[in-house]
Structure 1
Amino acid sequence: MLGGMTDRGGEATTPAESDSATETDPSAPARPGRKRDHSRDPEILRCTIDVLAETGFEGMTIEMVAARAKAGKATLYRRWASKGELVVDAVACLKQGDVDLGSLPDTGTLRGDLVAMIKPHSIDEAEKKMRVMAGVVTMLSTTPELADAVDAAIVQPRAEANRLLMRRARDRGEIGADTDIETLALVTPSMVSYRVLVLRKPVDREFLVSLIDGVLLPAAGVRQTAEV
C-alpha cells in the first residue's frame, strides 16, 4: 500500500517505518529503494546446488539453503521469490563456471577449439551434476513456466560458445560461409542436456568427443582425421 499506515495508537507511520518494523536484520538501514547486498549471492547459490543435490527439488526448501549459507530467510526471499527461481540462478552460476566466453580456446582449428572446451570432471562431480539435473527435471514438471529460464541457464551458454568458435572457423575459411551456425551451435548442448535430463546418464569426455567428431564437424563440412 502506497499511503501511510497507522500504529496501534493511531499515529501515522511511513512505509519506511513499517519496513523497519518487519526487517529481520536490525543492523541494516530500512528505507525504500536501498541497494541490496549481492556480495553473498555466489555462496548462497553454491549452497543451493549442494542442497538440491542432496535432497532433490521436492525435498529442498529455501530455509534449508538459508541455514546452509548461514543467511537469514528474509534475505533469500527478498532476492528470490520462489525456490524455482533460486534453483535457476544456481544452475546458471554453475554453468558459467564451465564456459568462459571471455577466454575461449584458440588452437587454430574448430576441432581443436571444441575439444579444448572439454573440462575434466571427477566422478563425484559428475554424480553431483546428475543429481542437480534430476532436480531440475522435477522442477520443470511442477513449474513449466521456468523452461525458458532453464534453457538460458543450461543450453545457451555452451551454444553461444559454439557460435563464437564456428564464426571464427568460418572467418578463416575452415567451414563454408553458408554453414547454418545457429542450428549447429545447439547440437551438442541439446544432446548433452537430453542425455543428462532424460536418459539420466553421465557426460564424459568420450561422449563429448564422439559428438564433436561424429555429429558436429561432419555437419559443418569439416573433414578431419586427428585422434584424441
Structure 2
Amino acid sequence: MTTPTAKPAGPSRVGRKRDHSRDPEILEAALDVLAEVGYEGMTVDMVATRAKAGKATLYRRWPSKAELVIDAIACMKQHPGPGQGQVFLPPDTGTLRGDLVAMVKPKAVSDSNRHLRIMLGVASMISAHPELLEAINDIMLRPRASAYQTVFQRAIERGEIEDGVDVELMSSLGPAMGMFRALYHQKAPSRESMLRLIDHVILPAVGLSAPVESAHE
C-alpha cells in the first residue's frame, strides 16, 4: 500500500503588525480620564471609550491601568502638546538666576490645574503600587533634577558660585517644592512661588543676591 505523501507546508502566516499610530491619542485620553476621576476611579474601559478605541486593543497593549498611566506620563514628558510637559533641556542664559528663571515656564491656569490633577492621580497610583515609584521617578523627577544639576554645575565652572555648593541638594529644591504644593496644598506650582523660591532660598543658599527688580517679574 502506498504511503500518502505529506503535503508541503505552506508559507507561515505572519501576525498582523500592531498599529501604534493612535497611541498618542489614547495616552492623551488616559491623562484626561486620570485628571477627571483620579486613579482609583479610572478604568481602561473608560479610556477606550474616551479615545473611541477598541477595548481589546487597549488591553493587549496595556494589560493594566498602571502600565497605561506610566506610558501616558512618559508620553506627556517626551512629546508635549499644549499645556503638557516637555523634554527638559536646561537653558544657558549666562547667569545662574537667569537659567533658573528660564526653567520656570508660565502656564495657563486651566493647564496648571489639569497638571495638578494628573500629579494627584499619579500619587494615588504610587500609594497603591509602591513598586512603581522608581519608574515614575525616572520619568518625572530625575530628568528635571538633572537639568537643575547642569545649571548649577555651569555656574560653578564660570566661577559664579563656589565649588563646594551641594549641587544635588540645590537641584532637588525646585522639584520638591512643586510636589509639596501639589500633595499638601493641592495647588499647582505658580510662577510667583517658584520665583520666590529662587530669590529667597536658592540664591542666598549659594551666596548670591536677587536683583531688586526681581519682585516685578
Question: What band does the TM-score fall into relative to the shorter chain?
Answer: 0.7 to 0.9
Counterpart position of 1:138: 124
**Structure 1 residue runs without a partner (length 5+):** 1-15, 18-28
Whole-Å separation in 1 of the counterparts to 2:52 and 2:91: 38
- Compute the displacement of 1:37 (Å): 4.1
Counterpart position of 1:48: 30
Q: Deviations over 1:6-32 (max 9, x none)?
A: xxxxxxxxxx87xxxxxxxxxxx527x
1:67 aligns with 2:53: no
Cα 1:222–1:75 change in 2 (3 A) is: farther
Q: Which amino acid aligns with 1:42?
A: P
Counterpart position of 1:100: 87
Counterpart position of 1:183: 169
Counterpart position of 1:212: 198
Q: Deviations over 1:139-165 (max 9, x none)?
A: 122111112222222222211110111
Whole-Å separation in 2 of the counterparts to 1:99 and 1:193: 17
1:168 aligns with 2:151: no
Given that 2:181 and 2:187 are in contact with CA atoms closer than 8 Å, whether structure 1 keeps it comes out as yes
Choose from 106, 112, 134 the match for 1:120. Answer: 106
Counterpart position of 2:179: 193
3-state SS of the aligned residue for 1:185? Answer: helix
**Structure 2 residue runs without a partner (length 5+):** 1-11
Q: Which amino acid aligns with 2:47?
A: V
Q: TM-score, normalised by structure 2?
A: 0.81
1:81 aligns with 2:66: no
Whole-Å separation in 2 of the counterparts to 1:197 and 1:153: 18
Q: TM-score, normalised by structure 1?
A: 0.77
Whole-Å separation in 1 of the counterparts to 2:77 and 2:30: 14
Bigger mean CA deviation after superposition, 86-95 or 115-124: 86-95
Whole-Å separation in 2 of the counterparts to 1:202 and 1:190: 13
Between the aligned residues of both structures, percent identity stands at 51
Given that 1:140 and 1:146 are in contact with CA atoms closer than 8 Å, whether structure 2 keeps it comes out as yes
Ranges of 4+ aligned residues in structure 1 off by more than 4 Å: none
How many residues align? The count is 198
Choose from 32, 36, 39 the match for 1:57. Answer: 39
Q: Which amino acid aligns with 2:142?
A: Q
Whole-Å separation in 2 of the counterparts to 1:38 and 1:165: 36
Cα 1:54–1:178 change in 2 (3 A) is: same
- Compute the displacement of 1:76 (Å): 2.4
Given that 2:76 and 2:86 are in contact with CA atoms closer than 8 Å, whether structure 1 keeps it comes out as no
Counterpart position of 1:30: 15
